Structure 1
Amino acid sequence: MKNLLLLVLLFTSIISIHAQSIVIKADSYLDVRTGKIISPAYIHTENGVIKSINPKVLPKGIQTVDLTGKILLPGLMDMHVHLDGDFKGSWDYVYKESASQGTVRAVVNAEKTLMAGFTTIRSIGQLHITPELIDVAVSEASDKGMIAAPRIIPSGHMISINGGHGDISLGLAEGLVTVGPNDGIINGKYDAIEAVRYQIKHGAKFIKMHATAGVLSMEDAIGAQQLSNEEMKTIVDEASRHHIKVAAHAHGT
């Protein structure tokens, strides 16, 4: 659609998500409930939250963003991203890069994601083998308005069995990289508890676990179970105690 301009929340993110009050003026907006284009479009926001659409009276002296000639639509959400990932070419950056380098990569990807129209994303597992949680740092920077990025729900390191689909050290020479519960790699329920607690301690807002194998696993069967029933129950129970939800990578068989 010509002159389609993404979203009310995109502009409040880029211009000033923390501004107290803004009116975004455009030719029209998409009403997602009815599927109709509504004209005109006056979107009143406060602190990044929509307060009213086409109010009868606009607040006096309010900051106005003039997008004449444009159409607004709500922000999109992506529930499965790896912010620090680059899926072109070699994967060796995940263990060669420092946390700082991985964070720069994630910030670049976050801005690209925002400019593609996504205002909320769920970062579903860090790829870099570093003790620091990269997606948490980028999420906090986004919340503070320090970078142009969507709202980010971070998970920290993915939880996987040793040698499983989420073990980023797969394929490396033995002893080259050491990984453990803090990195999300577990052997048994006690490691599972430690892994969950580490991610939450350092800012994860949900937990990602790898219940089954996948395209990066050593097994031929992508749907092979990897985490044991006991390990999965332990992960969910521990996260639930902290009122944290769990997402699972789980291929069918």
Structure 2
Amino acid sequence: MEYDIAIKNGNVFSGNEFLGKTNIYINNGRIIKVSKDELNARQEIDAKDMFVMPGLTDSHMHISGIKGGSLLKIMFEKPEYRALKATRWLEKLLRAGFTTVRDCGEPISISLKKAVNEGYIKGPKIIAAGKPISQTFGHGEFSHDIPLEFSISLGFSEICDGTEYCIHAARKVLRDGSDFIKIFATGGVLSQRDRPEMPQLSFEEIRAIVNEAEKAGTYVAAHVHGDKGGRIAIEAGIKTLEHGSMLKDDTLKLMKEKNVSLTPTLTIAEILYKYGKSIGVDEWGLEKVAEVRENLQRVIKKAKEFGITIITGTDMGFETGLEDYDIGKNWSEIVLLTEIGGLSNEEALRAATYNSATALGLNSGLIIESRDADIIIINGNPIENIRDISKVNHVIKGGKIEVLDSKIIR
């Protein structure tokens, strides 16, 4: 048998464990064989002295196409123009080894997903939420000073109040092409007058949204900072919890019991805390970020202790122009999970591959037979030095070589 692609002589991390020097054989977009045997292939990549692992996943992004930290800019830039700029983001992400990204709330993400799937633009596979769901006076309104009608007409979020309207909003975003539903279950940092600890949406409202998602064969991801809102969302049936910065031990234990994953989003907290003023973050965001950031280390430590599945997501939604944190440097979350979160290098790599794929229901994230051939090759060893995760030079997505020697294949 002749295979489509062979990756030979690499030091392989499967997504779960380090396999050592191993060969990988690919046909029709899938991994067919993982073996030390030397077999024939139409195209071979010699990965000698290099590190081979599953493609990376950023499980929480907002592919907005904006530059600078004021989310109010989304209101005033045409979505068509933002989508054109976002195509450059997708190329940067692919070159960085991200074969999958989950957009957790941005209407243009659905069109970008289609363009990638149909081959018009290069980029990772996109799992798109489309419009997130927010209550009135919720995190889905960046400014609470402008008229509500203006917020609604801008169309960033589906704003709903009461069970009946939440059902309608859930059905609408699913009809628009969303792969899952994103909700705001507490206040946040970059919205104007709500507080991160404030619960948003009731149990009945969230349960109604979860029910609509489950009927359509998908799930709900919840933005959560505060503990009370987090507990309500978990009990109502969400699948992934985003941020989790103020969760208490009992709520974290409930997450484990209900098999809810945690996306800590350390990157955005570092960006806002260290550089927020210089990149134009609105004043209300600067005031709130410190309290959100300071507790994340404890939450991650407890999540690991309780056996909660931790997955990687940066929550980046704008270009920063920063040297250490920017679009295309989304590996920063993996590094921060070790430096702040206390995970081992191998645990952080697992969070970005196997854990993320498992939590999101993907057939990637693991180098074993029958999985999708989303694979990256690194000129270094991130198990020994986690910052080597930035040294990706080959990317295979869906069994096709997309990046060779750090250059996108056109």
TM range (shorter): 0.7 to 0.9
Counterpart residue number, 1:162: 136
- How far apart in 2 are the matches of 1:187 and 1:32? 42
Q: Distance in 2 between matches of 1:119 and 1:64?
A: 20
Per the alignment, residue 215 of structure 1 pairs with 189
Aligned equivalents of 2:67 and 2:78: distance in 1? 18
- CA distance in 2 between partners of 1:242 and 1:125 (Å): 18
1-side partners of 2:138 and 2:144: how far apart?
Answer: 8
2: CA distance, partners of 1:174 / 1:82: 23
Distance in 2 between residues matched to 1:23 and 1:76, nearest whole Å: 20
Gaps of at least 5 residues in structure 1 are 1-19, 127-132
Equivalent residue for 1:145? Answer: 119
Deviation at 1:173, TM superposition (A): 5.3
Matched with 1:121 is 101
Aligned-CA RMSD value = 2.8
Partner of 2:333: none
| Inter-partner Cα distance in structure 2 for 1:123 and 1:22 | 30
Task: Determine the structure 1 residue equivalent to 2:26.
Answer: 45
Q: Which has the higher contact order (CA 8 A, sep 6+)?
A: 2
Report if aligned partners of 2:142, 2:191 keep a CA contact under 8 Å in 1.
no
Relative to structure 1, the CA distance from residue 169 to residue 194 in structure 2 (aligned partners, 3 Å threshold; closer, same or farther) is: farther
TM-score after normalising by structure 1 = 0.76
- SS of the aligned residue for 2:6 comes to strand
Counterpart Cα distance in 2 of 1:95 and 1:251? 24
In percent, how many aligned pairs have the same letter?
A: 34
| Aligned positions of 1:24-173 closer than 5 A | 24-25=7-8, 27-35=10-18, 38-39=20-21, 41-54=22-35, 56=37, 58-59=39-40, 62-67=42-47, 70-84=50-64, 86=66, 88-126=68-106, 133-168=107-142, 170-172=144-146
The answer to whether residue 1 in structure 2 is matched with residue 22 in structure 1 is no
Structure 2 length as normaliser, TM-score? 0.49
- Following superposition, the deviation at residue 232 of structure 1 comes to 0.9
Give the secondary-structure state (helix, strand or coil) at the position aligned to 2:197: coil
State the one-letter code of the partner of 1:236: V
Q: How does 1:183-202 map to 2 (within 5 A)?
A: 183-202=157-176
Partner of 1:4: none
Match of 2:208 in 1: 234
Contact 1:44 1:51 in 2 (8 A): yes
CA deviation after TM superposition for structure 1 residue 151, in Å: 1.6
Alpha-carbon distance in 1 for matches of 2:134, 2:187: 9
Deviations 1:193-239 (A, max 9, x none): 22111211121110000111111345463111121222111111111
Q: Secondary structure at the match of 2:50?
A: strand
CA distance in 2, matches of 1:146, 1:64: 27
Structure 1 residue 47 displacement after superposition: 3.3
Which residue is equivalent to 2:237? none
- Farther off after superposition, 27-36 or 156-165: 27-36
Contact 1:30 1:71 in 2 (8 A): yes
Partner of 1:249: 223
8 Å contact from structure 1 (residues 210, 250) kept in 2:
yes
**Cα gap change, 1:73/1:135 in structure 2, threshold over 3 Å: closer, same or farther?**
same
CA shift in 2, pair 1:174/1:185, >3 Å:
closer
Q: Deviations over 1:134-184 (max 9, x none)?
A: 111222222233322112111111100122101245443565454498941
Cα distance, 1:57 vs. partner? 5.3
Q: Kindly indicate whether the alpha-carbon contact (under 8 Å) linking 1:158 and 1:207 is maintained by their aligned counterparts in 2.
A: yes
Gapped runs of 5+ residues in structure 2?
A: 228-410
Q: What is the CA–CA distance in structure 2 between the aligned matches of 1:125 and 1:75, rounded to whole Å?
A: 23
| Cα distance change, pair 71–194 in 1 and its aligned pair in 2 (3 A) | same
| Larger helix percent | 2
* 1:48-99: CA deviation from partner (whole Å, max 9, x where unpaired): 3222223635345x23345555332221222111111546243343122222
